[in-house]
């Protein structure tokens, strides 16, 4: 474990979470302080990536007892920590994305109305531990570690979904999520046991260095694994739990659920299946992408609850991710560039919507689409910001969502035989306009009803809004440096 | 005097105005109005300055600005004008200024209204100036969103339905444009050094001219992708169904922009993108395009004739007039003189339609503001009550009919001239041009009926005292358009001289003759 220093961010965050839990047992009534502490911990973790990221450029890498950089396969590989976990440029990217999700979600949590009477130590601990689990997941190069990391990130989420006890649906959603999650873990373990039967190890490297095309048995194994992970990110036909869990969870948790687990799982999937062409999975992935985006978009059309709507919307977005995935074409191909790009973009535009939802539901106490009625007359600024995120999700330029879709469509057109998926994807974008803009219609076209209390803009929500807006807007207009960065990470 | 970034300033002046309005206090309608007038006026002056400095004998791009933007995709921020885009840019800035003045009557949520209006202007100007497909697409969508809100917030009783329908139709078209654009991008090079992929329209046309576009899908599909987007915007039959609804529901100034400028985006796209980059597919498609043009002309005219609502009538006459525009374009493969007449006529028709139909919407708006009725039967004898209004209305209606001496005649004549000389490779366009001539008669029929029912006959006493003549503000909006219609009708050379050399160059590119 010579290079253990490379895992400093995860280790620090774990200890910080435990520290917060212990602190909370002494001051059980504390609220905001725990969230500030968590934010501080997340920021430190984020900053601790800086030396890691620049490690290759620092002359004193030896000082830390770390071997120099090397390039393995497509991505820049930091020295091996163990045979279970790898710290490389790709995992660093996904870890940063997960951390950003964590930071924004904590910002949203501070002033969420329903949380006000609740002590937040446990909440902070669970969210932090879940984040750690995801950070480990994206670095795993062994299926066993991956399952442990998945559970580490999943189990806190069961509790978080049912965190507000007064709501009956909280329990239902949590139990649904729990059952589905357990079932999918079972599938995964079944797949892994077959995998072990094939290779005599649970290590990923043997799959990556597979010299031949897989036979029927191995294909079945891979499909089992794919299905297991598919449950976690709500790929159709394994998506049924998502709307209920999203609706049941407190809004900040929904926000977390809609980005972080997807980002992390996609990161791991990319590591496992990036050479899916050789594994003969590309058509299955393309078909899954097609079904997922279509079902998600059609399901969203009739939703009245914004959280359910966003659940279906995120199912559709997962479809777009899978589309990029099915076009990956090697690790430094356009597909994986598009995937990473869209991950970064998706996090911010989606969390922007949830920030707006928290502000609005704090005032109205409602979470359905009509809660946005007449928002433009109450606060033009907020409705413009919401509009920016909605437009970005629809994929209208010059916002970041368009750049992401442009890259995904580009990778689809570049690969052989995926034109149909590209056409389906743009048609889906047209459908998605309809339900995203139902919120816009409520905000702008309808007149406001008199409200019992004014809209409030606490600084934390403003900060989260500002971060989400700045990145959605800037990436839309100047995507060049982000794309360049991603290319460097992928070594292409 | 020369400053290099004039086109950037021209595009972003309305945008700066929009931001200024956003930062202004909420309930100060006067501030919003005058800021909007100031910035769109400034944009209009800038476009006039470009016109003065423009060299009509140069067929190429002028005032070009080309900076790397998204270097990783080799996408450039490329602006420029030539003889085809300049008239449309000036039309845009003029109509925007006029519509903003015509919007002074809007008193609800003025801040948002003028914000969206200036955004719309920026999008439209940027679209006509951009020479990189990526930029073009961005401006295409940027002009879409404000229109959605302008119809949806300040429109008539069915505003929401109209706004959504408008947006859905256009978005449906534009996503296919996006795919075609990507197909061109990957066909334009291998991505290796020396063979960089590009979305630059000028480069793409050059590459296509050398046979260097290696499309992996049939060129016809790529062409159709663009065509769907443009046909919806034009609107060409059978994609026209959003137009009457949007026009009827939109407030008057928005209708002016919609008819005057937005419809031109589609026709301009055909001339700027489809024809020069995909000449082979164009050649194959023209026999279909001419049929569409003929249907637009005849069907649009008949539909207009059947309307009782005057605004609806003018909207359908737009479909008819854009049909002439498409007819002129079809001539491009024919003999060079006819092709020249067709292309120049087509661009001139876009400008004239903007001026004339724009003012017709304002005229209908004048009546509607006073009576809240647009029914053609509800009036009569207005000429005796409001002579100035009647005079203006008669000039513009006659202009729309294509009466010689007014601008509409010249461009329609040129379009037909092109249509009759547009035969190529055994395709006979003459027949279709011949059938289309009937459209002129039908147009005359319904417009004359409109004059008769509204202006002549006995005055409907119901409106006694409710019909004062034009106010100063209405005169400010209408008179420039009338003057231009007359002046361009008598001296069409003023506009045609701008287009001649560029049109010739376009024809040479499309017919693959050396320039």
Q: Sign of the C-alpha dihedral, residues A373, A376, A377, A379? A: positive
Q: What is the mean pLDDT of residues B170-174?
A: 92
What 3-state class would DSSP assign to B469? Answer: coil
- CA distance to partner chain B, nearest, from residue A165 (Å): 40
Give the three-class secondary structure for B339: helix
CB A58 within 8 A of CB A64: no
Query: What residue of A is the nearest CA neighbor of B111?
Result: A380
- Among A384, A397, A480, the residue with its CB nearest the CB of B138 is A397
Within 10 Å of residue A262's Cβ, how many Cβ atoms?
A: 23
Q: Which of A44-48, A453-457, B15-19, B359-363 has the lowest mean pLDDT?
A: A453-457
The predicted structure's pLDDT at residue A331: 63
Q: Is B472 exposed, middle or buried (0-12, 13-18, 19+ CB in 10 A)?
A: exposed
Q: Which of B152, B383, B114 is nearest to A443 (CA)?
A: B152
Q: What six digits make up the tokens of B128? A: 């006509």
Instruction: Looking at the complex, report in whole angstroms how far the Cα of residue A484 sits from the nearest Cα belonging to chain B.
Output: 7
User: ω into residue A324 within 30 of 0, thus cis?
Assistant: no
C-alpha A268/C-alpha A247 separation (Å) is 27
Residue B154: strand, helix, or coil: helix
pLDDT reading at B508 higher than 80: yes
- Stretch B227-243: mean pLDDT, rounded? 91
Q: Burial of A47 by CB count in 10 Å (0-12 exposed, 13-18 middle, 19+ buried)?
A: exposed
Q: Is B153–A445 a contact, with Cβ atoms under 8 angstroms apart?
A: yes
Q: According to the model, what pLDDT value does residue A2 have?
A: 61
Can you give the pLDDT at residue A61? 44
The mean pLDDT of B469-484, rounded to a whole number, is 89
Residue B175 touches partner A, C-beta closer than 8 Å: yes
Residues of chain A contacting B217 with CB distance shorter than 8 Å:
419
Identify the CA nearest to B226 among candidates B189, B261, B184, B259: B184
**DSSP symbols for A93-104:** HHHHHHHHHHHH
Q: Is B70 on the interface with A (CB under 8 A)?
A: yes
B147: nearest Cα among B175, B113, B104: B113
Work out the minimum CA distance from A352 to partner chain B, whole angstroms.
20
DSSP β-bridge partners for residue A368:
A305
Choose the mutation target among A444, A473, A476, A479 for the interface with B, i.e. most B CBs under 10 Å. Answer: A444
pLDDT, position A428: 94
Residue contact A445–B159, C-beta within 8 A: yes
CA B514 and chain centroid, separation: 30
CA separation for the pair A399, A391 (Å, rounded): 7
Q: Given B152, B168, B217, which is nearest A444 (Cβ)? A: B152
3-state secondary structure of B309: strand
Of B126, B130, B178, which to mutate for an interface test with A (greatest number of A Cβ within 10 Å)?
B178
> Which pLDDT score is estimated for B122?
94
User: With contacts defined as CB-CB under 8 Å, which chain B residues touch A444?
Assistant: 112, 149, 152-153
Residues of A in contact with B26 (CB under 8 A): 380
Is pLDDT of B126 > 70?
yes
Query: Is B167 in contact with A410 (Cβ distance < 8 A)?
Result: no
What token pair was written down for A250? 């407190």
Closest CA to A386 of A341, A345, A444, A337: A444
Cβ of B145 within 8 Å of Cβ of A396? The answer is yes
Mutate to test the interface with B, among A374, A386, A396, A469 (most CBs of B within 10 A): A396
pTM over 0.90: yes
Instruction: Name the minimum distance, in Å, from the CA of A246 to any CA of chain B.
Output: 28
DSSP state of A7: G
Q: Which of A384, A414, A430 sits opposite B172 (nearest CB)?
A: A430
Is the confidence metric ipTM above 0.85 for this complex?
yes
Q: Which residues pair with residue B427 across a beta bridge?
A: B424
Residue B82 DSSP SS3: coil
* DSSP code string of B3-54: -TTHHHHHHHHHHHHHHHHHHS-TT-HHHHHHHHHHHHHHHHHHHHHHHHH-
Task: State the pLDDT confidence band at B137, using cuts at 50, 70 and 90.
Answer: very high
Question: How far apart are alpha carbons B379 and A290 in whole angstroms?
Answer: 57
CA dihedral A492, A4, A36, A161 (to 10 degrees): 80
Closest Cβ–Cβ partner in B73, B112, B182 for A380: B112
Provide the 8-state DSSP code for A113: G
Position A492 scores a pLDDT of 62
Does A397 contact B142 at a Cβ distance shorter than 8 Å? yes
- Give the pair of three-digit tokens for residue B65: 């600005």
DSSP of A302-360 = T--BHHHHHHHHHHHHHHHHHHHHHT--STTSHHHHHHHHHHHHHHHHHHHHHHHHHHH
Query: Residue A430 and residue B171: Cβ atoms within 8 Å?
Result: yes
Q: Is B193 helix (H, G, I), strand (E, B) or coil?
A: coil
Q: Which chain A residues contact residue B186 at CB under 8 A? A: 410, 413-414
Nearest CA of chain A to the CA of B193: how many Å? 15
Q: Does B73 touch chain A (CB under 8 A)?
A: yes
* pLDDT < 70 regions, chain A: 1-3, 52-81, 165-170, 208-211, 328-332, 491-492
φ, ψ (nearest 5 deg) of residue A373: -55, 130
Gap between the terminal Cα atoms of chain A = 30
Give the model's pLDDT for residue A73.
Answer: 45
Nearest chain B CA: its distance from A423 CA (Å):
8
Q: State yes or no: pLDDT of B272 exceeds 60.
A: yes
d(Cα B81, Cα B87) in Å, to the nearest integer?
9
| DSSP line for A119-177 | --HHHHHHHHHHHHHHHHHHHB-BHHHHHHHHHHHHHHHHHHHT--TT-HHHHHHHHHH
Mutate to test the interface with A, among B171, B224, B225, B251 (most CBs of A within 10 A): B171
Q: Please say whether the beta carbons of A261 and A231 come within 8 A.
A: no
The pLDDT, as a whole number, for residue B280 is 87
For B32-58, write each residue's pLDDT tens digit: 899 999 999 999 999 999 999 888 888
- Please give, rounded to a whole number of angstroms, the shortest distance from the CA of A433 to a CA of chain B: 8
| Nearest Cβ partner for A409 among B69, B141, B179 | B179
Residues of chain A whose beta carbon is less than 8 angstroms from a beta carbon of chain B are: 376-377, 380, 384, 391, 396-398, 402, 406, 409-410, 413-414, 419, 422-423, 426-427, 429-430, 433-434, 437, 441, 444-445, 479-480, 483-484, 487
User: Which of A381, A386, A398, A412 to substitute to test the interface with B, most B CBs within 10 Å?
Assistant: A398
Question: How close, in Å, is residue A237 to chain B by CA atoms?
Answer: 27
Beta bridge partners of B75: B70
Q: Residue A34: enclosing H or E segment and its boundaries?
A: helix A32-53
Q: Work out the minimum CA distance from B11 to partner chain A, whole angstroms.
A: 15
Q: Does B23 touch chain A (CB under 8 A)?
A: no
Q: Is A105 exposed, middle or buried (0-12, 13-18, 19+ CB in 10 A)?
A: buried
Please say whether the beta carbons of A130 and A260 come within 8 A. yes
pLDDT at A166: 60
Residue B176 contacts A, CB cutoff 8 Å = yes
pLDDT of the residue at A337: 87
């Amino acid at each position: 474990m010579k290079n253990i220093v490379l895992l400093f961010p995860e280790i620090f965050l774990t200890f910080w979470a435990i520290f917060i839990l212990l602190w909370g047992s002494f001051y059980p009534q504390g609220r905001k302080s725990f969230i500030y502490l968590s934010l501080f911990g997340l920021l430190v973790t984020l900053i601790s990536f800086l030396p890691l990221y620049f490690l290759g450029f620092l002359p004193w890498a030896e000082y830390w007892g770390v071997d120099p950089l090397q390039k393995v396969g497509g991505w820049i590989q930091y020295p091996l920590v163990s045979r279970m976990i790898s710290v490389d440029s790709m995992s660093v990217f996904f870890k940063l994305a997960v951390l950003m999700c964590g930071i924004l979600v904590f910002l949203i949590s501070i002033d969420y109305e329903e949380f006000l009477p609740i002590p937040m130590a446990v909440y902070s601990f669970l969210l932090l531990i879940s984040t750690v689990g995801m950070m480990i997941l994206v670095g795993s190069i062994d299926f066993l570690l991956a399952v442990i990391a998945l559970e580490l990130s999943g189990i806190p989420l069961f509790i978080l979904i049912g965190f507000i006890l007064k709501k009956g649906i909280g329990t239902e959603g949590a139990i649904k999520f729990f059952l589905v999650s357990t079932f999918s873990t079972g599938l995964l373990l079944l797949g892994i046991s077959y995998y072990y039967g094939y290779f005599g190890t649970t290590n990923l490297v043997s799959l990556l260095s597979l010299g031949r095309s897989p036979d029927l048995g191995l294909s079945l194994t891979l499909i089992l694994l794919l299905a297991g992970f598919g449950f976690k990110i709500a790929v159709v036909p394994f998506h049924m739990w998502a709307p209920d869990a999203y609706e049941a969870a407190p809004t900040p948790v929904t926000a977390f659920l809609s980005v972080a687990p997807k980002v992390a799982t996609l990161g791991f999937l990319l590591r496992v299946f990036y050479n899916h062409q050789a594994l003969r999975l590309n058509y299955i992935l393309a078909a899954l992408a097609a079904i997922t985006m279509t079902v998600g978009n059609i399901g969203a059309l009739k939703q009245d609850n914004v959280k359910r709507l966003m659940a279906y919307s995120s199912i559709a977005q997962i479809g777009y991710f899978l589309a990029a995935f099915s076009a990956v074409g090697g690790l430094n191909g356009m597909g994986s560039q598009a995937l990473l790009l869209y991950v970064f973009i998706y996090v911010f535009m989606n969390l922007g919507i949830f920030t707006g939802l928290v502000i609005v539901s704090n005032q109205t106490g409602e979470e359905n689409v009509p809660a946005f009625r007449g928002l433009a007359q109450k606060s033009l600024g907020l409705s413009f910001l919401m509009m920016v995120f909605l437009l970005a999700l629809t994929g209208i330029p010059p916002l970041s969502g368009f750049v992401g879709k442009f890259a995904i469509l580009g990778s689809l057109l570049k690969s052989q035989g995926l034109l149909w998926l590209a056409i389906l994807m743009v048609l889906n974008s047209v459908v998605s306009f309809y339900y995203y803009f139902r919120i816009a219609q409520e905000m702008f076209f309808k007149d406001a009803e008199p409200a019992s209390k004014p809209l409030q803009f606490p600084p934390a929500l403003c900060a989260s809004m500002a971060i989400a807006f700045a990145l959605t807007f800037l990436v839309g207009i100047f995507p060049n440096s982000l794309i360049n960065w991603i290319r460097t990470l992928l070594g292409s | 005097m020369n400053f290099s970034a004039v086109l950037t300033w021209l595009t972003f002046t309305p945008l700066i105005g929009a931001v200024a309005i956003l930062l202004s206090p909420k309930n100060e309608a006067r501030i919003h109005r005058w800021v909007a007038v100031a910035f769109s006026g400034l944009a209009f002056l800038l476009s006039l300055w470009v016109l003065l400095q423009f060299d009509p004998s140069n067929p190429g791009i002028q005032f070009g600005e080309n900076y790397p933007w998204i270097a990783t995709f080799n996408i450039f921020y490329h602006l420029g004008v030539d003889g085809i885009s300049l008239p449309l840019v000036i039309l845009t800035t003029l109509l925007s200024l006029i519509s903003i003045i015509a919007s002074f009557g809007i008193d609800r949520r003025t801040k948002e209204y003028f914000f969206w209006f200036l955004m719309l202007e920026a999008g439209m100007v940027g679209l006509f100036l951009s020479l990189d497909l990526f930029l073009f697409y961005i401006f295409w969508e940027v002009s879409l969103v404000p229109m959605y809100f302008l119809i949806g917030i300040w429109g008539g009783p069915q505003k929401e339905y109209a706004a959504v329908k408008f947006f859905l139709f256009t978005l449906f078209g534009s996503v296919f444009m996006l795919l075609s654009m990507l197909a061109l991008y990957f066909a334009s090079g291998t991505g290796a050094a020396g063979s960089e992929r590009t979305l630059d329209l000028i480069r793409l046309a050059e590459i296509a001219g050398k046979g260097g576009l290696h499309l992996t899908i049939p060129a016809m599909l790529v062409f159709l992708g663009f065509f769907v987007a443009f046909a919806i915007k034009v609107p060409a039959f059978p994609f026209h169904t959003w137009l009457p609804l949007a026009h009827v529901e939109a407030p008057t100034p928005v209708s002016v922009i919609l008819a005057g400028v937005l419809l031109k985006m589609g026709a301009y796209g055909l001339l700027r993108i489809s024809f020069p980059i995909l000449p082979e597919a164009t050649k194959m498609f023209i026999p279909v395009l001419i049929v569409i043009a003929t249907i637009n002309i005849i069907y649009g005219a008949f539909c207009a004739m059947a309307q009782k609502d005057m605004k609806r009538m003018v909207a359908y006459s737009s479909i008819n007039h854009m049909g002439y525009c498409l007819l002129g374009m079809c001539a491009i493969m024919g003999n060079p003189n006819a092709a020249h007449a067709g292309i120049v006529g087509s661009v001139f028709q876009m400008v004239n339609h903007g001026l004339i139909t724009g003012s017709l919407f304002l005229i209908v708006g004048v009546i509607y503001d006073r009576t809240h009725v647009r029914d053609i039967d509800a009036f009569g004898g207005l000429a005796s009550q409001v002579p100035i209004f009647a005079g203006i209305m008669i000039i513009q209606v006659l202009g729309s009919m294509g009466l010689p001496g007014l601008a509409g005649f010249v461009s329609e004549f040129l379009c037909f001239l092109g249509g009759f000389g547009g035969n190529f490779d055994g395709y006979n366009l003459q027949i279709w041009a011949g059938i289309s001539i009937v459209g002129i008669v039908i147009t005359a029929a319904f417009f004359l009926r409109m004059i008769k029912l509204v202006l002549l006959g006995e005055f409907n006493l119901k409106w006694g005292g409710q019909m004062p003549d034009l106010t100063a503000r209405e005169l400010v909006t209408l008179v420039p358009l009338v003057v231009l219609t007359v002046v361009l009708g008598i001296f069409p050379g003023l506009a045609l001289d701008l287009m001649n050399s560029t049109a010739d160059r376009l024809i040479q590119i499309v017919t693959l003759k050396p320039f």
